[in-house]
Amino acid sequence: MEILCAETAERGPLPFRRYMELALYHPEFGYYTSGRAQIGRKGDFFTNVSVGPLFGRLLAWEFARLWAAEGRPSDFTLVEQGAHGGELMGDVLGGLQELAPECFAATRAILVEPSPALAARQKEHLASQPVRWATSLENLEPFAGVHFSNELPDAFPVHLVQWTGTEWLERGVQAKGDALEFINLPLSSLELAEACASIPQPLPAGYITEVNLAAPRWLAGIAGKLTRGSVLVVDYGYPREEYYAPERTEGTLSAYASHRREPNPLARPGEVDLTAHVDFTGLAAAGERAGLRVAELTDQHHFIVRLGMDYFASERPAKERRAFMTLMHPQFMGRAFKVLRMETV
């Protein structure tokens, strides 16, 4: 809180995007970069990995299929970004080792992780696996294979904007005593103004929503490194017409701690998770502009069912079948999560 108050005192009100960046990614006090973020029943939120290793094993099944479709190359790279403690990559590599040993032998694994605290946790968890690390996408050499992420773009800092009935304004954050409060500001860039102009109208006055300018840049960065293969994005979100529906007057921005929604996203910076759903229509369009094409865009229910039809053709433990039901069930994760796979042309 002191860092935020000091920055607002020096620079004036901050765009919400800057507030979210500091709250989540400040090198020492950020929710993610400090290593404070915890996943699972005892943490702040659930993800597919919380269900157990099945999600990673199903991804391994899919990656082995993609490897075979590429002609079974001897050099196949798996790049994960947003890996938290490294559990998903461990599940994927363990699944490949058991289910597709030839693919495993051809695979090299890389985690993109800028946080030293998280990289240390990942290295401890993956000590027995052949994994390398990069601090950023920019530091990656061009590769052929698959870049995958599970709940990453939803954590990118977003611009928060409000429609007055005649114009878009940007929501900012300023200090008031020992607390922080929202304030409306002019739009901070031409890029943001152009993105706001593309939001479907009509909308009611006072309508608040998010614009994620980081996600298209991120996908373009991956496309620039991927010489051949796929990008797999798993996250919760909506198609554009649903994301910007007129009745969604408060947007999708949420703050969570201990599996409970915090009513004020400006409270307890660095101690709570801040997240916004993904506009999958916009993300897919950004990938196409970067030279990729959409291979699959569906919800997790249909994606998991497709993989499960082959995976469960053989006898599997009962606990895996229970995990499968959780991953694909429409009322749990099946409909909330979307899966976008884009591939090189």
Query: Which residue type does 247 have?
Result: E
d(CA 254, CA 259): 12
Q: Which residue has the higher pLDDT, 330 or 149?
A: 149
281-325 per-position pLDDT tens digit: 999 999 999 999 999 999 999 999 999 988 898 889 888 988 988
d(CA 55, CA 304): 9
Q: Cα torsion for 260, 88, 120, 111, to the nearest 10°?
A: -120
- Inter-residue contact 254 to 248 (CB < 8 Å): no
pLDDT at 341 over 90: yes
- Inter-residue contact 21 to 160 (CB < 8 Å): no
What pLDDT, on the 0 to 100 scale, is given for residue 40?
Answer: 47
What pLDDT, on the 0 to 100 scale, is given for residue 286?
Answer: 97
Q: Which CATH class is domain 48-155+212-344?
A: alpha beta
Q: What is the CA radius of gyration of the chain?
A: 20
Query: Which residue type does 92 have?
Result: V
d(CA 246, CA 86): 39
- Eight-class DSSP state of 140: P
117-173 per-position pLDDT tens digit: 899 999 999 999 999 999 999 999 999 999 999 999 999 999 999 999 999 999 999
What does 296-311 look like in DSSP terms, one character per residue? EEEEHHHHHHHHHHHH
* H or E element at residue 229: strand 226-238
The β-bridge relationship of strands 168-176 and 179-185 is antiparallel
Residue with tokens 């291979």: 295
13 confidence band (pLDDT: 50, 70, 90)? very high
C-alpha distances (whole Å) from 191 to each of 196, 199, 214, 281 are 9, 13, 11, 18
- Inter-residue contact 271 to 35 (CB < 8 Å): no
Q: Which residue has the higher pLDDT, 178 or 254?
A: 254
Q: Which residue has the higher pLDDT, 194 or 322?
A: 194
Mean pLDDT of 314-342: 84
What pLDDT, on the 0 to 100 scale, is given for residue 28?
Answer: 86
- Inter-residue contact 99 to 107 (CB < 8 Å): no
162-187 per-position pLDDT tens digit: 999 999 999 999 988 778 999 999 99
* H or E element at residue 185: strand 179-185
Q: What ranges do the domains of the chain cover?
A: 2-22+158-210, 48-155+212-344
